[in-house]
């Protein structure tokens, strides 16, 4: 655990304690279960976003990918009767293709990540709306897919499977980021692409892979969201989700300049965002203020972090000066 | 000139400390109106730091500045400008998307009318006499993108004059200029002096300092080691003071004669100079110096060999076998390594721990079952640290806490932890203090003695002549001549660098 992660963990506990004191329902099994489900859903694609941010890029298309792939998944399973494992494979496969497209446009054609994924945001949303002719995609009345439902919206001992899925993904991605060659290369490319290239690292491959990971996790999240909401309204489903993901990653210590971040931090960031959402609901704050609360907390968090960093730097300089005077 | 009134600027006991490095230690300096002061010192001696303090860009850790009798603990940029201190930087700060007049008055635009619109006409009229004063041949409305480097330098000087500069600080102004351009600049400096303007002239080109300076202040490792007055300003005295010893001690002959070629490059041409192919051979066990003026294509050649730069055509042979080098990974696999020119940008990742930097190029070798073993990374990093005498207590600490010399050793450690056949050093000692330089030279020699082919690109004349076993000189992308050790001399290298043919002795 990095220092930042511990700070974030403390913040989560403090906020939780305050909410609990004001409204004990916060720790009720129902509320915890529901919140855990949301943390799972949002955490899944926030981790992917974190990987992209660590390369120094950004993926604005996440929400639209969740809408488009959600619509397609629901239609494949509900309308065309595609067996769900095949539908899952196709959905994830589309995620791979979307990620590849982003990565190749950014590395080979040297377009800016912001521009590429902004276009993605518009294109995927547009396709989703055009394909459904603005109508809501849903499963036929009375249909049921017991295994798929168990995997996505089922619970074990009260713990939502979406949350468990997110934990499993987080564990895998934690190993990938912190303990594999690819993970070290990802940080190197994000921090200083030029030096990484001069060390023989295939920087294009690393960057493209990060976008593929992001889109794949978004495609998995798309399936979970579709199963959770049971119907997908193409113009509103997943709106602003990319911003939740970016917020979680930034709260979790990812620098938008690249090269820095931890999986634990991103997960904690996702936890804090849902906790704030929950706070708004439980404390009777008008839900229209939702975004304002979230924005304020993120701003304060980032500001505090910046101040700590400045303080640490000053301490280091003073120590260096002290050493000099002793000489 | 009446506009310039007497300047009396003193720096007293100025010290500047950065985390992990003392850039300046108790330096004092006085500059008066109409004086040309040469500021000498090797890279990393503290010249730039001193100038940044005068420019108000950084604050001294201790010590103070006295200007016309008034004492300051530090300057801010505005105070520095008001004092009439102006800079002509090594990397020019001109905007090539504007014209000359707009550059001169950038940030101080003349305005007119109610809406304070930029008054282009007035600025052009005011710019013309400034350009006349320095004998510039371009006009106020010339787009900067069409100016040569030397002309851009003049533009910077004109800008300084427009601010009623009393002191113009020139940082390596001639490093990219041709000889005739250099002479013109020296004439401009003489004119400025005649107008009562003081000049601080920072240069590695000692003959220029000899020609224009009234006295020279020499820094070494952040300490002022001495002052040479006009009549003491000789080449030898300056060098002796700068490096603290005689130059001849630099050269260590190889332990055994060079063997067979480890690297052969045949007709290698690069994109920017497609019709100037280069061919050469590098022997195992030798240090081959590569000299030439800036822009001669030395770095481009090295990068093409290493697979970073684009090459059009040509063959690269390692140990007599042709290798296809399209990416750095190909070069690394063949045992061809590059220690790049810009250490901080391309050589290492400053924020990363030493151990990550050392193991970055072959991280796969540190894995078991796909996972990186930090224990083995640390072991190897510590072996390299001890072998190269890298001064860090803990290899887990970030590289940016080290001095430039130690950072360069980390870059080298990255390659030495593998199996080098050829190492190309591009400006290996830029920004490195004297002591560490000697260590780097020692490392190069011991690599060569172990059979590695060492190629050293350097713009530092003393270094090229002092360290190499053989020199080749480049101009415009091609190799214009080769010098065996017996024929080493500054004038031979320079003549080849500007394209002259040497007379046979």
**How far does the CA of residue A17 sit from the closest CA of chain B (Å)?**
37
The dihedral through the CA atoms of B58, B59, B62, B64 has a sign that is positive
Whether B502 is in a domain gets the answer: no
Whether B181 is in a domain gets the answer: yes
Whether B59 is in a domain gets the answer: yes
Q: Are B465 and B485 contained in the same domain?
A: yes
- What's the number of CA atoms in the CB half-sphere (13 Å) around residue B491? 2
Please report the DSSP string for B275-321 in residue order.
EEEEEEEEETT-EEEEEE-TTSSHHHHHHHHHTSS-EEEEEEEETTE
Query: What is the β-pairing status of strands B36-40 and B215-220?
Result: parallel
> Does B4 have pLDDT greater than 60?
no
Sorted by where each begins, the domain ranges of chain A are: 3-285, 290-327
Compute, in degrees rounded to 10, the torsion defined by CA atoms B150, B152, B153, B156: 170
Per-residue model confidence (pLDDT) at position B3: 45
Residue among B19, B338, B360 whose CB faces A317 most closely? B19
Q: Which of A139-143, B269-273, B335-339 has the lowest mean pLDDT?
A: B269-273
Q: Mean pLDDT throughout B252-279?
A: 86
Q: Which domain holds residue B459?
A: 249-497
Residue among A185, A191, A320 whose CB faces B20 most closely? A320
Instruction: Report yes or no: A231 and A136 within 8 Å, Cβ to Cβ.
Output: yes
Helices B179-194 and B149-162 pack at an angle, to 10 degrees, of 10
The count of other CB atoms within 10 Å of the CB of residue B369 is 5
Contact assignment for A194 to B346 by CB distance below 8 Å: yes
- A3-285: what fold? ABC transporter involved in vitamin B12 uptake, BtuC (1.10.3470)
CA–CA separation, B324 vs B316, rounded Å? Answer: 7
Per-residue model confidence (pLDDT) at position A276: 93
Whether B120 is in a domain gets the answer: yes
Whether B504 is in a domain gets the answer: no
Q: What is residue B459's three-state secondary structure?
A: coil
Q: Mean pLDDT throughout B24-31?
A: 91
Q: Which residues of chain A have pLDDT under 70?
A: 1, 320-327
A5 contacts: CB under 8 Å, gap ≥ 6? A252, A253, A262, A264, A265, A268
Secondary structure letter of residue A276 according to DSSP? H
Cβ pairs A/B, distance under 8 A: 80
Q: Mean pLDDT throughout B283-290?
A: 94
Under an 8 Å CB criterion, which residues of B touch A?
17-20, 22, 61, 306, 308, 327-329, 331-332, 338, 340, 345-352, 356, 360-361, 363-364, 367, 370-372, 414
Residue ending a domain, choose from B244, B265, B289: B244
Instruction: Report yes or no: B250 and B444 within 8 Å, Cβ to Cβ.
Output: no
CA–CA separation, B307 vs B204, rounded Å? Answer: 31
CA–CA separation, A218 vs A244, rounded Å? Answer: 13
Q: Which of A236-250, B427-441, B467-481 has the lowest mean pLDDT?
A: B427-441
Residue B180 pLDDT grade (very low, low, confident, very high; cuts 50, 70, 90): confident
Whether B2 is in a domain gets the answer: no
> Does B20 have pLDDT greater than 70?
no
Per-residue model confidence (pLDDT) at position B392: 84
Per-residue model confidence (pLDDT) at position B281: 94
Contact assignment for A199 to B19 by CB distance below 8 Å: no
Residue ending a domain, choose from B211, B244, B277: B244
**How far does the CA of residue B93 sit from the closest CA of chain A (Å)?**
24
pLDDT tens across A198-241, in order? 999 999 999 999 999 999 999 999 999 999 999 999 999 999 99
Contact assignment for B350 to A184 by CB distance below 8 Å: no
Chain-centre distance of CA A248, in angstroms?
7
Per-residue model confidence (pLDDT) at position A58: 96
CA–CA separation, A119 vs A61, rounded Å? Answer: 8
**How far does the CA of residue A92 sit from the closest CA of chain B (Å)?**
24
Contact assignment for A181 to B364 by CB distance below 8 Å: yes
Q: What is the mean pLDDT of chain B?
A: 86
| Closest chain A residue to B328, measured at CA | A200
Residue with tokens 């921090």: A191
The total domain count for chain B is 2
**More confident call, B491 vs B440:** B440
Contact assignment for A200 to B349 by CB distance below 8 Å: no
Whole-model pTM? 0.80
Q: Are B419 and B338 contained in the same domain?
A: yes
Q: Are B257 and B211 contained in the same domain?
A: no
Q: Are B309 and B458 contained in the same domain?
A: yes
Q: Are B303 and B197 contained in the same domain?
A: no
| Closest chain A residue to B339, measured at CA | A198
Residue among B345, B367, B371 whose CB faces A195 most closely? B345
Residue among A181, A195, A259 whose CB faces B363 most closely? A181
Per-residue model confidence (pLDDT) at position B250: 67
Contact assignment for A192 to B308 by CB distance below 8 Å: no
Whether B431 is in a domain gets the answer: yes
Residue ending a domain, choose from B244, B275, B291: B244
Please report, for the domain that includes residue B103, its CATH number.
Answer: 3.40.50.300
Q: Mean pLDDT throughout B463-478?
A: 89
């Amino acid at each position: 655990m990095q220092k930042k992660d511990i700070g974030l963990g403390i913040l989560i506990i403090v906020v939780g304690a305050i909410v609990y004191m004001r409204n004990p329902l916060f720790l009720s099994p129902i509320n915890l279960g529901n919140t855990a489900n949301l943390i799972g859903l949002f955490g899944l694609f926030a981790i992917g976003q974190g990987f992209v941010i660590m390369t120094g890029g950004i993926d604005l298309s996440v929400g639209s990918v969740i809408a488009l792939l959600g619509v397609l998944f629901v239609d494949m399973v509900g309308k065309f009767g595609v067996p769900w494992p095949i539908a899952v494979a196709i959905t994830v496969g589309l995620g791979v293709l979307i990620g590849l497209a982003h990565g190749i446009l950014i590395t080979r054609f040297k377009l800016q990540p912001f521009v590429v994924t902004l276009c993605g945001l518009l294109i995927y949303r547009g396709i989703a709306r055009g394909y459904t002719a603005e109508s809501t995609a849903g499963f036929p009345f009375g249909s049921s897919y017991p295994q798929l439902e168990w995997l996505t919206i089922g619970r074990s001992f009260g713990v939502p499977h979406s949350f468990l899925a997110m934990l499993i993904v987080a564990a895998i991605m934690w190993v990938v980021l912190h303990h594999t060659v690819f993970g070290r290369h990802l940080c190197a490319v994000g921090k200083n692409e030029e030096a990484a290239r001069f060390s023989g690292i295939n920087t294009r491959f690393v960057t493209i892979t990060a976008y593929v990971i992001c889109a794949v996790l978004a495609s998995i999240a798309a399936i979970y969201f579709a199963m959770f909401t049971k119907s997908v309204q193409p113009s509103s489903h997943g709106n602003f989700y990319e911003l939740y993901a970016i917020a979680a990653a930034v709260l979790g210590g990812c620098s938008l300049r690249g090269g820095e971040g931890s999986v634990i931090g991103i997960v904690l960031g996702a936890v804090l965002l849902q906790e704030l959402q929950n706070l708004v609901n439980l404390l009777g704050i008008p839900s229209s203020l939702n975004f304002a609360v979230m924005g304020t907390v993120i701003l304060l968090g980032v500001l505090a972090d910046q101040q700590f960093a400045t303080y640490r730097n000053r301490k280091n300089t003073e120590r260096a000066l002290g050493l000099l005077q002793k000489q | 000139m009446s506009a310039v009134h007497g300047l009396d600027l003193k720096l007293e006991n100025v010290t500047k400390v950065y985390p992990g490095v003392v850039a300046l230690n108790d330096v004092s300096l006085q500059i008066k109106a109409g004086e040309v002061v040469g500021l000498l010192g090797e890279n990393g001696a503290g010249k730039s730091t001193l100038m940044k303090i005068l420019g108000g860009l950084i604050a001294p850790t201790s010590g103070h500045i006295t200007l016309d009798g008034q004492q300051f603990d530090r300057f801010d940029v505005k105070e520095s400008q008001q004092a009439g201190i102006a800079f002509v930087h090594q990397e020019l700060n001109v905007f090539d998307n504007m014209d000359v007049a707009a550059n001169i008055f950038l940030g101080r635009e003349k305005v007119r009318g109610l809406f304070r619109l930029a008054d282009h006409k007035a600025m052009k009229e005011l710019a013309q006499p400034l350009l006349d004063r320095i004998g510039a041949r371009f006009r106020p409305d010339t787009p900067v993108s069409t100016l040569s480097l030397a002309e851009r330098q003049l533009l910077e000087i004109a800008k300084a004059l427009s601010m009623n500069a009393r002191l113009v600080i020139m940082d390596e102004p001639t490093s990219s200029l041709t000889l005739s351009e250099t002479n013109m600049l020296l004439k401009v400096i003489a004119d400025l002096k005649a107008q009562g303007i003081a000049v601080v002239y920072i240069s590695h080109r000692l003959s220029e300092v000899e020609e224009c300076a009234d006295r020279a202040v020499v820094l070494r490792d952040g300490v002022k080691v001495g002052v040479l007055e006009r009549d003491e300003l000789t080449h030898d005295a300056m060098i002796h003071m700068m490096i603290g010893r005689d130059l001849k001690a630099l050269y260590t002959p190889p332990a055994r004669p060079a063997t067979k070629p480890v690297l052969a490059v045949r007709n290698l041409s690069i994109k920017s100079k497609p019709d100037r192919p280069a061919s050469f051979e590098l022997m195992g066990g030798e240090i081959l110096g590569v000299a030439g003026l800036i822009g001669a294509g030395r770095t481009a050649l090295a990068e093409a060999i290493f697979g970073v730069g684009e090459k059009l055509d040509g063959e690269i042979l390692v140990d007599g076998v042709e290798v296809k080098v399209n990416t750095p990974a190909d070069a690394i696999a063949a045992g061809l390594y590059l220690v790049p020119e810009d250490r901080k940008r391309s050589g290492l990742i400053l924020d990363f721990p030493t151990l990550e930097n050392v193991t970055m190029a072959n991280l796969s070798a540190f894995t078991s079952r796909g996972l990186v073993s930090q224990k083995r990374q640390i072991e190897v990093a510590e072996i390299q640290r001890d072998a190269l005498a890298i001064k860090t207590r803990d290899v887990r600490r970030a590289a940016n806490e080290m001095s430039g010399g130690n950072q360069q050793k980390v870059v080298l450690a990255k390659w030495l932890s593998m199996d080098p056949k050829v190492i190309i050093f591009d400006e290996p000692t830029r920004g490195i203090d004297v002591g560490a330089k000697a260590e780097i030279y020692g490392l190069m020699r011991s690599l060569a003695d172990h059979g590695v082919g060492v190629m050293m690109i350097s713009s530092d004349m003393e270094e090229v002549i002092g360290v190499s076993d053989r020199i080749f000189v480049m101009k415009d992308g091609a190799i214009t001549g080769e010098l065996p050790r017996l024929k080493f001399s500054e004038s031979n290298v320079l003549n080849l660098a500007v394209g002259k043919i040497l007379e046979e002795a």
